Amino acid sequence: MTAPWDDWDHVLKIDPDKRLVEGETFEDVCRTGTDALEIGGTLDVTSEKMEQVIDACAKYDVPLYQEPSNPAVVVEDEALDGYLVPVVLNAGGVSWVTGAHKEWVRITDVDWDRTTTEAYIIMNPDASVAELTGADCDQSVEDVAAYAELAEQMLGQEIVYVEYSGTFGDPEVVAAAQGALDAATLFYGGGIHDYDSAYAMAQHADTVVVGDLVHEEGVDAVAETVDAAKDA
């Protein structure tokens, strides 16, 4: 059985708490050529802000996924293609592995057919997500490969996500994660800012995730990273 992300080279992550570049619209964002939009952020996200982005993107063709950072921001909306829920393998406590998830399942009638988890390995200690989850980012190449393998083989994860949010990561680490995987899809995110940086990581990752660039530089810069991801 194939999953949508099997065919994704590029994902654009929209932080509902951040603005687009002056003069740009969500129509422009949806026309960058990205394979999917992931809507989610770490800080100050609310379901209202989530809804605004979903409403603005709903009428375009790009698949829309919500990436909730806690149960309170999950939005039920037919315009969404699904939910990609982070599980942080190297979090400092179980809250980000099963804790928040258990609460979500307890209080919600989860739409499992449209819900998939992403097995995160967080590698930038300065990122808000590392701070929030208390992640132990002191991981060697071998550690990351082992996390990737256990994510797929022990936990049955379909998506493994090497996350350097805010900084460009080590391609050797990403290559090692890829080498450890059999059929799972490898996402890489962090610091992709132009054609070359996207191309470099797309050599190893199945899917490159671009985040801040859309909020800081805009859609033309994002479109370049889409080209690179497709060329790699």
Tell which residue, 111, 162, 133, has the closest CA to residue 43.
Answer: 133
Q: How near is the Cβ of 13 to ligand 1GP at its closest, in Å?
A: 5
Given candidates 49, 191, 221, 228, which one binds ligand 1GP under the rule CB under 6 A? 191
Tell which residue, 41, 120, 130, has the closest CA to residue 87.
Answer: 120
Residues 38 and 84 sit within 8 Å (Cβ to Cβ):
yes
Residue with the CB atom nearest ligand 1GP in the bound state: 189
How far apart (Å, rounded) are the C-alpha atoms in residues 161 and 107? 27
Q: Which two tokens stand for residue 229?
A: 């991801």
How far apart (Å, rounded) are the C-alpha atoms in residues 118 and 139? 19
User: Amino acid identity of 69?
Assistant: S
Does residue number 218 form part of the binding site for ligand 1GP (CB under 6 A)?
Answer: no
Beta bridge partners of 122: 163
Given candidates 13, 49, 101, 204, which one binds ligand 1GP under the rule CB under 6 A? 13
Does residue number 82 form part of the binding site for ligand 1GP (CB under 6 A)?
Answer: no
Does residue number 209 form part of the binding site for ligand 1GP (CB under 6 A)?
Answer: yes
Does residue number 173 form part of the binding site for ligand 1GP (CB under 6 A)?
Answer: no
Q: Nearer Cβ to ligand 1GP, position 68 or 191?
A: 191
Phi and psi at 161, nearest 5°, equal: -125, 105
Region near ligand 1GP per CB under 6 A, out of 89-97, 139-147, 203-211, 224-232: 203-211
Residues 31 and 228 sit within 8 Å (Cβ to Cβ):
no
Q: How near is the Cβ of 141 to ligand 1GP at its closest, in Å?
A: 19
Region near ligand 1GP per CB under 6 A, out of 74-82, 149-157, 197-205, 208-216: 208-216
Give the binding site for ligand 1GP (CB under 6 A).
Answer: 13, 163, 165-166, 189-192, 209-213
